């Protein structure tokens, strides 16, 4: 496990996110009972959004916009926000050039950016604005800056979140996710990465009243949880907790992402976030080749990810 190269983990995280997203797209919004009766076992076509097999959603598209922005401009939230707007308006980095799904908070934020609002002020800051729309796309920021010092790493995660989700809870969820990814990138075991990220997170946020919302992530013995304790809706804390649970309670990339998607409800995002974590942990070669081959725009992805890996290399 520890012998994986940084490149294998980065490629794994990026492709894993898209694969997890695409596995979830055809069954998005369907309840868990549907998945119990008819579990997802591989790439499906059509379904909820009528898309071909391998199609990623807004999750994957905004993640790809983030990768492209980091490659071409470094960390620049104005540029990142502009690319998100370009996706929403023109289908930039959409799997097939068409936008078929977008969260309410994300749409509202991108309209504000279009109207001239600074990107880092566009994301909603109300307690009801804590959907999972920044968590689903934050992985590239974590991958690009995981070796950096703590203040800069945390700041970049929070600022990137704020483009669409500016409430402290959403930003903190992105920080926790980033801390966990950092542990996985260092070659730690899942349990070690969780323990390290919990300790670092508590040190940074112990005086923040929002930390009470992170009790399960910080203190629960997630590996012992039954599926009935895991919620999989669009709330950021549900997605963060569910994706961690899926990784901690499985032993392969495939098992992790299928477990995530078969939780039902917000299947594309749970699949995307869990797939990103599993891809970083298990590496690119652990992702089934036939699943990866279903993704559209293969050459575009390969070129973009290769540039990103080069950017991330020491």
Element (H, E) at 163: none
Q: What is the DSSP letter of 106?
A: H
pLDDT of residue 175: 98
CB 41 within 8 A of CB 258: yes
CA proximity to 77, closest of 18, 158, 169, 175: 158
Query: Any idea where the domains of the chain sit in the sequence?
Result: 6-312
Mind listing the pLDDT tens digit of every residue in the chain (314 residues)? 458 999 999 999 999 999 999 999 999 999 999 999 999 999 999 989 999 999 999 999 999 999 999 999 999 999 999 999 999 999 999 999 999 988 899 999 999 999 999 999 999 999 999 999 999 999 999 999 999 999 999 999 999 999 999 999 999 999 999 999 999 999 999 999 999 999 999 999 999 999 999 999 999 999 999 999 999 999 999 999 999 999 999 999 999 999 999 999 999 999 999 999 999 999 999 999 999 999 999 999 999 999 999 998 76
Residues in the chain: 314
CB 261 within 8 A of CB 271: yes
- Dist CA 246 CA 314 (whole Å): 31
Backbone angles phi, psi at 83, to 5 degrees: -70, -35
Q: Which residues contact 125 (CB under 8 A, 6 or more apart)?
A: 166, 167
- For helices 6-24 and 168-185, give the axis angle rounded to 10 degrees: 130
44 φψ region: left (φ > 0), alpha (ψ -120 to 50), beta (else): beta
pLDDT of residue 2: 56
CATH topology of domain 6-312: ADP-ribosylglycohydrolase fold (1.10.4080)
């Amino acid at each position: 496990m520890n012998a994986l190269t940084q490149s294998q983990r980065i490629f794994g995280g990026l492709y894993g996110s898209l694969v997890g997203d695409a596995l979830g797209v055809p069954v998005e919004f369907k309840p868990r009972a549907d998945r119990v009766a008819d579990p997802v076992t591989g790439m499906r076509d059509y379904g909820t959004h009528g898309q071909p097999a391998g199609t990623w959603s807004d999750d994957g598209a905004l993640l790809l916009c983030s990768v492209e922005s980091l490659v071409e401009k470094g960390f620049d939230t104005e540029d990142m926000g502009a690319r998100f707007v370009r996706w929403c308006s023109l289908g930039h980095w959409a799997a097939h050039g068409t936008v078929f799904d977008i969260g309410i908070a994300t749409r509202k934020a991108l309209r504000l950016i279009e109207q001239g609002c600074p990107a880092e002020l566009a994301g909603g800051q109300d307690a009801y604005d804590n959907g999972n729309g920044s968590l689903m796309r934050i992985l590239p920021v974590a991958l690009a800056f995981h070796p950096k010092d703590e203040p800069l790493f945390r700041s970049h995660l929070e600022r990137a979140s704020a483009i669409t989700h500016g409430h402290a809870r959403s930003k903190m969820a992105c920080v926790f996710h980033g801390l966990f990814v950092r542990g996985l990138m260092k070659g730690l075991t899942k349990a070690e990465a969780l323990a390290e990220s919990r300790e670092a997170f508590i040190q940074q946020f112990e005086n923040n009243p929002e930390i009470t919302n992170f009790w399960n992530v910080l203190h629960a013995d997630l590996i012992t949880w039954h599926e009935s304790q895991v919620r999989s809706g669009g709330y950021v804390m549900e997605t963060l907790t569910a994706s961690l649970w899926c990784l901690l309670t499985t032993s392969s990339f495939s098992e992790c992402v299928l477990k995530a998607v078969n939780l039902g409800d917000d299947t594309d995002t749970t699949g995307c976030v869990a797939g990103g974590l599993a891809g970083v942990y298990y590496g690119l070669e652990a992702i089934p080749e036939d699943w990866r081959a279903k993704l559209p725009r293969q050459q575009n992805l390969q070129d973009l990810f290769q540039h990103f890996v080069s950017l991330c290399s020491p």
